[in-house]
Chain A
Amino acid sequence: MSHFDQEIQVLKDRLLSMASRAESSVRNAIRALVERDDELARGVKGNDDQIDQLEKEIDEQAILLLAKAPLATQLRLIVSATKIARDLERVGDEATTISRRAIELGREPQLKPYVDIPRMAEMALAMLRDALDAFVGRDSAKARGVIPRDKEVDALNRQLYRELASFMIESPATTTRCLHLMTISKALERIADHAKNIAEDVVYLYEARDIRHGGLESDPR
């Protein structure tokens, strides 16, 4: 392995460490909501600071690697790494948002059993994991498979919105709790968006093909 390849490996390792932290942040934030565990919710913020730090380190390393004039796959990998890092940083932010709302919700009686939110979280996290597995396994087909799943999460988010809206109409006293849950639902929907972005970056990385905004029309060569 050349010295440059070793540096690229360090960049990848940092990215994967960031991904694993982002994933556990989301998982803990949802658990804190369901189990009404404030301490767990507060831990999410601490984890987010480390995610932010990793994003800065990745960007700094990427700048130095770009200065070495890499080409082709290595060039795409470095650019993709910075974009993936930004998406992961935002996943961490969304987890923090969820944990804050979980703390607020913990102060009031539970509105209803949480079914759809944990399901959305699982779907979004599975997308995130598959996008990152595709990154590690150089598997652009797997990355492409992640992209349509975003629509399922969107549909669940809309369904939850409708349900919460009817709650608020029927019982205005639930409005604050419903708004917290809507924010959490939106945060999960955004996490799925970030997973989709990462999947698109992985397709670009391994196929040198930009499929953003155009859906999957641009099929593999």
Chain B
Amino acid sequence: MDAPPARPLPTAGVEETEASPSLVTPAIQTEDLCLFYGETPALRNVSLSIPERQVTALIGPSGCGKSTLLRCFNRMNDLIPAVRVTGRCRIGGQDILDDGVDVIELRKRVGMVFQRSNPFPMSIRANMVYGLRLQGIRNRSEQDQIVEESLRAAALWDEVKDRLERNALELSGGQQQRLCIARAIAIRPRILLMDEPASALDPIATMRIEELILDLRRDYTIVIVTHNMQQATRISDQTAFLYLGEVVEFDRTARIFTHPREQRTEDYVTGRFG
């Protein structure tokens, strides 16, 4: 494939003054981030500044690199052989791409929720305390408190409080996904990464997840990959449009979906390609 382009790549909408992504404290900052699967570039010079305690949506056609970018933020790509990453990715002032970074510690700060809900085949409570035990929290009352707080934050407590010992796989798809979000929250991350968290759910369950994301925004920085552009407009504060591994446009969501600067963004959001 072609070499990464030499021209400066778009970051946040610098002309905007109101709630511009560039003017808010960044939770994640990438600089010339490139990722190759073998020799194939999947991300090209991505420079983004993702503000804290806001929702940032990553959109773009299949294969554009949005999930790959999301997985960079907690080094999930390390699990894939022959991946090479260059550039910088700062979280909390630290370049997480450095060799010396403790990836386990990083993933405590940067939680992840996947497309398919993946509760462990054990009780609801056991799902919730799994990560806490790994963190050395073994005191039962402390665990109970965190379980309740996290399930409440994930808007699931009222539905499961009387059946915490039941198998998590008995829950509906939407409940399982909210359990996975609660499980991620229990570790007290700063950042939540979500890879199409509602794409396997029906409209009602999707709506509940979207409401939950809007509630969680108060306390967490959320980065979400979605194929559903209306969902991006409903839940995100800013949106990055990726195409062929590069960030074509990154701006306030309102701007991206009503008057984008780039013709390619316009073409994508109006369904002309992708």
What chain A residues lie within 8 Å of B233 (beta carbons)?
A: 64, 67-69
Q: Given that A4-B234, A69-B230 are contacting pairs, would A64 and B211 also be in contact in the complex, using a CB cutoff of 8 Å? A: no
What chain A residues lie within 8 Å of B234 (beta carbons)?
A: 4, 68-69
A62 to chain B, nearest CB (A): 11
Q: Is B258 an interface residue (CB 8 A)?
A: yes
Check if B230 sits within 8 Å of A67, measured CB to CB.
Answer: yes
Q: Is A171 an interface residue (CB 8 A)?
A: no
Residues of chain A in range 1-52 having any CB-CB distance to chain B below 8 Å = 2-4
A220 to chain B, nearest CB (A): 30
Q: Is B214 an interface residue (CB 8 A)?
A: yes
Q: Is A136 an interface residue (CB 8 A)?
A: no
**Cross-chain contact of A3 among B214, B230, B254 (Cβ < 8 A):** B214
Check if A67 sits within 8 Å of B211, measured CB to CB.
Answer: no
Residue from the set B207, B234, B257, B258 with the largest chain A CB neighbour count within 10 Å: B234
Check if B257 sits within 8 Å of A67, measured CB to CB.
Answer: yes
What chain A residues lie within 8 Å of B211 (beta carbons)?
A: 2-3
Chain A: CB-nearest residue to B235? A3
Q: Given that A3-B211, A3-B214 are contacting pairs, would A64 and B254 also be in contact in the complex, using a CB cutoff of 8 Å? A: yes
Check if A63 sits within 8 Å of B230, measured CB to CB.
Answer: no
Check if B214 sits within 8 Å of A67, measured CB to CB.
Answer: no
Residues of chain A in range 60-87 having any CB-CB distance to chain B below 8 Å = 63-64, 67-69
Chain A: CB-nearest residue to B228? A69
B222 to chain A, nearest CB (A): 14
Cα of A63 to Cα of B258 in the assembled complex, Å: 8
What chain B residues lie within 8 Å of A63 (beta carbons)?
A: 258
Cα of A68 to Cα of B234 in the assembled complex, Å: 5
Cα of A63 to Cα of B233 in the assembled complex, Å: 11
Chain A: CB-nearest residue to B255? A64
What chain B residues lie within 8 Å of A3 (beta carbons)?
A: 211, 214
Chain B: CB-nearest residue to A2? B211
Chain A: CB-nearest residue to B207? A2
Cα of A2 to Cα of B204 in the assembled complex, Å: 13
Check if A68 sits within 8 Å of B258, measured CB to CB.
Answer: no
**Cross-chain contact of B258 among A2, A4, A67, A69 (Cβ < 8 A):** A67
Cα of A67 to Cα of B207 in the assembled complex, Å: 16
B251 to chain A, nearest CB (A): 14
Cα of A97 to Cα of B179 in the assembled complex, Å: 61
B189 to chain A, nearest CB (A): 22
Residues of chain A in range 162-184 having any CB-CB distance to chain B below 8 Å = none
B229 to chain A, nearest CB (A): 9
A73 to chain B, nearest CB (A): 15
What chain A residues lie within 8 Å of B254 (beta carbons)?
A: 64, 67
B198 to chain A, nearest CB (A): 14
Check if A68 sits within 8 Å of B230, measured CB to CB.
Answer: yes
A7 to chain B, nearest CB (A): 10
Residues of chain B in range 221-261 having any CB-CB distance to chain A below 8 Å = 230, 233-234, 254, 257-258
Cα of A4 to Cα of B206 in the assembled complex, Å: 14
Cα of A68 to Cα of B233 in the assembled complex, Å: 5
Cα of A3 to Cα of B234 in the assembled complex, Å: 9
Cα of A64 to Cα of B207 in the assembled complex, Å: 18
Cα of A3 to Cα of B233 in the assembled complex, Å: 13
Cα of A85 to Cα of B29 in the assembled complex, Å: 42
A3 to chain B, nearest CB (A): 5
Residues of chain B in range 191-207 having any CB-CB distance to chain A below 8 Å = 207
B139 to chain A, nearest CB (A): 36
What chain B residues lie within 8 Å of A68 (beta carbons)?
A: 230, 233-234
Interface bits A189-201 vs B (CB < 8 Å: 1, else 0): 0000000000000
Cα of A104 to Cα of B207 in the assembled complex, Å: 58
18 new A-B pairs (CB below 8 Å) besides A67-B257, A68-B230?
A2-B207, A2-B211, A3-B211, A3-B214, A4-B234, A63-B258, A64-B233, A64-B254, A64-B258, A67-B230, A67-B233, A67-B254, A67-B258, A68-B233, A68-B234, A69-B230, A69-B233, A69-B234
Which positions in A face B, CB cutoff 8 Å? Answer: 2-4, 63-64, 67-69
**Would you list the 9 A-B pairs with minimal beta carbon distance, nearest first?**
A69-B230, A67-B233, A3-B214, A68-B234, A67-B257, A68-B233, A64-B254, A63-B258, A2-B211
Q: List 18 A-B contacts (CB under 8 A).
A: A2-B207, A2-B211, A3-B211, A3-B214, A4-B234, A64-B233, A64-B254, A67-B230, A67-B233, A67-B254, A67-B257, A67-B258, A68-B230, A68-B233, A68-B234, A69-B230, A69-B233, A69-B234
